[in-house]
Structure 1
Amino acid sequence: MPRQRRCEGHTIGWLLVAMVAPVIWGSTYVVTTEMLPADKPLMAAVFRALPAGLLLLLFTPALPQGRWWLRTLTLGILNIGGFFYCLFVAAYLLPGGVAALVMSSQPVLVMILSVLILKESLKLHQFFACLTGIAGLSILVLEPSMVLPAKGVLAGLAGAASMATGLVLSKKWGKPEGVSVATFTGWQLTVGGFFLLPFGLIQEGLPTVLTGNNLLGYGYLSLVGALLAYLIWFKAIEQLPVVSVSFVSFASPLSAALLGYFMLDETLTPNQLVGAGAIVLAIVISQRLTVTHSKAGCSNAKLHSQLSTKPS
């Protein structure tokens, strides 16, 4: 029983830790619209990823070896470069909550890719949780008179696909033996930043003027929104099932909506509160069975240990 409780506590603890990352990412929408220069999504993505990656590698210097060069390039582009660009395009073109709503297709894509790449089985409760979450998000952010630009919606969907693929491949490949999470995160942030840099310079150029507010915004997105959040995210991927981690991302739009309410004086209608409740319900449904499976895994491990030590 104590072993089972420790195992259950470990799972719940990592679920709560994992939720910190999407809560931080939910602040991206407020920071982007209120603190960053207008119409420079590529450079915003560069300034978010590259300084954080280089800082991590400064303190944990190491280079990939062998096949990990290609894997690092792939993960850096999927998890960081492509995802960041799509995220900032969506954030500039769509209301914050709507951008998060489009991105919420990620758990569906992760479920599909987990079957194709990780050979996992689909579970009915996960589909139900996903539908509940998307329905809640729709109630939370959509309005009857809202007109959404197609480019923003497509950018959000592309970002969800990019990160979903990177998430599943991160779980499949793990990280190189002997390499810390900080180094592994630094590789990906650096690759993603350098991947975006030439596109940003050619298409947008450097901002001509940077205010103190702009610098604070970039600093927050790099040190907190990238460095801290991705350290947490990649560590959680090691500890938890990949689909469970993807469902935690539903906390991002909830965070965006609450920050909009408290910081931007946006209103929350009764319908939106119902939507927020549905999002919380979706997260709980998706994670309840994760904890249950953790209990079963602990019980099986305990039984195996007893059988292996039983004298023949």
Structure 2
Amino acid sequence: MVVMKDLSSHTTPLFVSAVRLLPAGLLLVAWAARSGRAQPSSPMAWMSIAVFGLIDGTGFQGFLAEGLQRTSAGLGSVIIDSQPLTVAVLAALLFGEELAAGGYVGMGLGVAGLCLLEVPLDLLFHAPEIAAGLLTDGPQAVSAAASSTGRSWSIWDSGEWWMLLAAQSMAVGTVLVPWVSRYSDAVMATGWHMVLGGIPLLALSVMQEADTLLPRLADFNGWDAVSLVYISVLGSAASYGVFFYNASRGNLTALSSLTFLTPMFAALTGYIFLGETLTPLQLAGATVTLGAVALINSNGKRKQAS
């Protein structure tokens, strides 16, 4: 997510989202075909993939790109990675998946661990004062902003709102996988959903961002290219393929809980390769997160309702 935010400032948000999906999708389709996996053939297969692509591809990546321009990568990650809560609700309603008491505790601990890992200390320790300030000073601040810009504030100016939409899109995409997999191979469907989801993003980028994008591409450098390859090949092709393949075969709630680990691995990678420091609170957050995932995947599940 940090790489996406940095790339967006060197290119444009929707362009980054499109490039994250399109090459990765084509690469995954090519790999799946080479592995002998069947191409989608029936109208129902293509329709299900198109719906999957619109929600999880266009929706998730588009909302994510817009949200990153309006909020920090850390806070955005907390909102995105809390999507297992939505998956748990949808999986229970649609597929009869149930959590035991330990699973519900694990979900709560997972969100708590995310907050300890990624939310700035000032925000954590002064949350009541900040909330009170928003309640008392928020209307005046919004009014002042409206006067200075000549327009009123709306919820679409909120990065947190865009991130929440992205999280819900990802959650819905996850629970769509068993349905999509009835009509086509899960890995092949994942690749095609990235291609179909990336096309609208590319079209929107051309229509809305061309004036900004073209001058920035003139300054495109080697590090930017490496970053694009990274978010496309590793951040999309590999991770999407593995995640959705497993989503077609296992417990959706337990699988989605693994996304709680994403910020922990990001922090660990930064510590090992970039020399970044981890505070005691972040180490505590990592420990809580590991415990939460273990709790959900060990004794937090019940059998699916018949």
Q: TM-score, normalised by structure 2?
A: 0.77
Choose from 159, 164, 170 the match for 2:166: 159
Q: Residue 146 of structure 2 aligns with which residue?
A: none
Shift of 1:256: 2.4
Shift of 1:39: 6.3
Distance, in Å, in 1 between the alignment partners of 2:190 and 2:276 is: 35
Choose from 86, 98, 107 the match for 1:130: 107
Choose from 135, 139, 142 the match for 2:119: 142
Question: Is 1:55 matched with 2:33?
Answer: no
Bigger Cα displacement from structure 2, 34-43 vs 194-203: 34-43
Q: Which runs of 5+ in 2 are unaligned?
A: 124-129, 135-154
Q: Residue 15 of structure 1 aligns with which residue?
A: none
1:256–1:107 distance in 2 versus 1, CA, 3 Å: same
Distance, in Å, in 2 between the alignment partners of 1:80 and 1:64 is: 21
- Counterpart amino acid of 2:191? G
Query: CA offsets, 1:113-143, max 9 Å, x none?
Result: 1122223334322221111011111122222
Choose from 235, 244, 250 the match for 2:245: 235
Query: CA offsets, 1:180-211, max 9 Å, x none?
Result: 44322221111111121111222222443221
- Counterpart amino acid of 1:280? L
Does structure 2 retain, via aligned residues, the 8 Å contact 1:36–1:217?
A: no
Q: Residue 88 of structure 2 aligns with which residue?
A: 111
- The secondary structure found in structure 2 opposite 1:195 is helix
- Counterpart amino acid of 1:79? D
Shift of 1:33: 4.1
Does structure 2 retain, via aligned residues, the 8 Å contact 1:36–1:214?
A: no
Bigger Cα displacement from structure 2, 249-258 vs 144-153: 144-153
Percent identity over the alignment? 29
- The secondary structure found in structure 1 opposite 2:112 is helix
Question: Is 1:170 matched with 2:180?
Answer: no
Distance, in Å, in 1 between the alignment partners of 2:119 and 2:253 is: 26
Shift of 1:35: 5.0
Q: Residue 40 of structure 1 aligns with which residue?
A: 12
Q: Residue 284 of structure 1 aligns with which residue?
A: 294
- Counterpart amino acid of 1:53? G
Choose from 66, 77, 98 the match for 1:100: 77
Does structure 1 retain, via aligned residues, the 8 Å contact 2:60–2:166?
A: yes
Distance, in Å, in 1 between the alignment partners of 2:223 and 2:106 is: 39
Q: Residue 218 of structure 1 aligns with which residue?
A: 228
- The secondary structure found in structure 2 opposite 1:249 is helix
Does structure 2 retain, via aligned residues, the 8 Å contact 1:36–1:218?
A: no
Distance, in Å, in 2 between the alignment partners of 1:41 and 1:289 is: 41
Choose from 239, 245, 265 the match for 1:255: 265
- Counterpart amino acid of 1:201? V
- Counterpart amino acid of 1:165? V
Does structure 1 retain, via aligned residues, the 8 Å contact 2:21–2:198?
A: yes
Shift of 1:220: 1.3
- Counterpart amino acid of 2:18? V
Does structure 2 retain, via aligned residues, the 8 Å contact 1:32–1:92?
A: no
Shift of 1:100: 1.3
Distance, in Å, in 1 between the alignment partners of 2:186 and 2:180 is: 14
Q: TM-score, normalised by structure 1?
A: 0.75
Written as runs of structure 1 = structure 2, the 5 A alignment for 1:261-272 is: 261-272=271-282
Distance, in Å, in 2 between the alignment partners of 1:196 and 1:112 is: 29
Shift of 1:223: 1.4
Q: Which runs of 5+ in 1 are unaligned?
A: 1-27, 295-312
Choose from 188, 194, 198 the match for 1:189: 194
Question: Is 1:201 matched with 2:173?
Answer: no
Choose from 62, 76, 79 the match for 2:56: 79
